[in-house]
Each structure stands twice: as C-alpha cells, then as structure tokens.
Amino acid sequence: MYWQTLIFFALTYVTLALSLNISAGYGRLLCLCQATFYGIGAYSVALLPMMMPSRSPARMYVLGVFVGISISAALGGLISLLGDHLKEDYFLMSTFAFSEIAQEFIANSNWSGGNVGLRLKPLNMGGVEYVFVVSAGILMLVAFWICGRIERSHFGLALITFSVDESLSTVLGNSSRSLRFQCMAVSAVLATLAGCIVAPQLGYIHPAFFGVDESVLIFTMLTLGGLGSRYGVVLGAFVLAVVPSILTFFPIATRLDAPIRQIIYGLLLVVLMHLRPSGLIPNR
C-alpha cells in the first residue's frame, strides 16, 4: 500500500511538472500558480457530488471534471493576458499573488470547508486504489505525449521562436497573445486533470494542499529536470517525489531526524544543481 501510494503521487507530480513545462518550458511563461489549477480540479470533483447528493456520484464526478477543466482553461487564458503588460519576473510575481489570493479565498469560504477541509464521498469502484494508480499513469503518458507533439508541431516551433525573440515571432506572423493563451490553457487543463484524480484517491482535501509551496515544488521539479526537456522533467519530478520517501528509511537515532533529512535533501538538490545547472537532461 505504501509503495502503491508513492508511485501514484510520483506519477501525479510528473504530470504536474509536464503541465508546467508547456507554459514555462516551451512558452517561457514562468508561473507559480500551477497548484491553483491542481486545486480547482480537486475541489470541482469534491463539491458537485455534495451539492447534488441525489445524483449518481460517478456522474457528478465526470461533470466535476468538465467544470474544473472549463474554469481552469478560462483562468489560465486570462492569466496569460498579463504577459502583454508584464515581463518575466513581474509575471512570475503576479502568478505568485494569484496563487496566494486563491488559497486565502478557498481557506476563508464556507462552501469549500474552509480551513477544516472537505471529505469526499467514495466512488464505490472495485479495486479503487489500482484504478487511480492506472489513471495517474495514463494521464502522465498523455501529458508526455502532448509535450512531444508540441515539440514537433508548428505550434511548438512558434513557441520556441516566441521565447527566443518575440519581435521575430511577430514578424513571422505569430500572435503573441494567442500563443500565450493556448499555452497557459493547455497547461492549466492538464494540472486540473491531475487534481481530479488525486482528490478521490485521498478522500480528503485542504487548501494547504494546493498552496504556493506546492507550486514552488512543481517549479523546482521542472528546473531540476531541465526547462523544455520532457525527459528531464520526468526524471526531475521522480527524483524530488521519491527521494524524500527513500530518506525516511535511513535510521537516524535522534529527535532531530526530520530536520536532518531535510538538510540531506537540500544538500542533494544543491549538489545536483551545481553539477547540472541546465537540468539533469537539458533541452537540446
């Protein structure tokens, strides 16, 4: 059960890192709100069955998925419009602010359970644990495939041109606003789908699960693996998702075992970033 849960969350984090790779890796829209889209998916599939208890939980779950996708795609597109006025660091800070506002809004709302969180109704599926692990694996493969298609498509070439030289991209007839909008919308939808799978698997959700810390972790996975490198992103996400769990197996006979493990974890990250500043598998 432990390893099954670890594999599930490793696959989920790979999906989240790949989704961020679309906006930050290909489109160079560095953002810290990926966990917000992740949370939208989780709360969508959690709230609809509660709002309509007489309906089939499975049908409400599917409806929640579509509602979450619609909200995230719209929000992602709107956030991308900030790129017309804000560049690089300022855009990053604006997404950070958006993530903080979203978390505080959910934490202080009655409909979301506030700081108490929400417990989900079970979907009553046979072998539910394996169903969600398989679903997480399929979603990860879909995200990986989408990244591959983008890399080999005219859209991907336009994104690369835009990220290297925005003026050249405009001269070639590419609309910077359209590229940003599509990029952020696809990225947001993939993160939302990850949240739709995680929520019923956990059975409980809380605003803290989808805060800025989670967005920073996803961004770190992307940076460690290599911006724009889908193979690097997969490796970086697996490393950061699995290494902390592996460190718990090392016996440390002291009350400071948790801080010591965090220090070891931090040192490993520093060493890896020093040895591979462009990522574990840089984008060619």
- Per-residue model confidence as pLDDT tens for the chain (284 residues): 677 888 899 999 999 999 999 998 888 888 889 999 999 999 999 888 888 876 777 788 889 999 999 999 999 989 988 877 877 788 888 999 999 999 999 988 888 888 888 888 766 555 555 788 899 999 999 999 999 999 888 888 888 888 777 778 778 787 878 888 998 999 999 999 999 999 888 888 999 899 888 999 999 999 888 888 899 999 989 988 888 777 676 666 555 556 766 777 778 778 877 777 777 888 77
Compute φ and ψ for 205, nearest 5 degrees: -130, 155
DSSP string of 111-164?
TTTGGG-EEPPP---TTHHHHHHHHHHHHHHHHHHHHHHHHTSHHHHHHHHHHH
Asked whether residue 50 is domain-assigned, the answer is yes
Asked whether residue 282 is domain-assigned, the answer is no
Asked whether residue 193 is domain-assigned, the answer is yes
pLDDT of amino acid 19? 95
Asked whether residue 280 is domain-assigned, the answer is no
DSSP string of 24-53?
IIIS----S-HHHHHHHHHHHHHHHHHH-T
Asked whether residue 166 is domain-assigned, the answer is yes
Query: Residue 41, class by beta-carbon neighbours within 10 Å (0-12 exposed, 13-18 middle, 19+ buried)?
Result: buried
- Report the C-alpha gap between 119 and 217 in whole angstroms: 25
Per the CB < 8 A criterion, the answer to whether 223 and 236 are in contact is: yes
- Report the C-alpha gap between 139 and 149 in whole angstroms: 15
How many structural domains is the chain composed of?
A: 1
Asked whether residue 284 is domain-assigned, the answer is no
Residue 205 three-state SS: strand
**pTM of structure:** 0.90
C-alpha closest to that of 239 among 252, 223, 227, 257: 223
Query: Residue 111, class by beta-carbon neighbours within 10 Å (0-12 exposed, 13-18 middle, 19+ buried)?
Result: exposed
Q: Who contacts 164 (Cβ-Cβ below 8 Å, separation ≥6)? A: none
pLDDT of amino acid 145? 95
In terms of residue numbers, what domain contains 168?
2-275
Asked whether residue 283 is domain-assigned, the answer is no
Asked whether residue 281 is domain-assigned, the answer is no
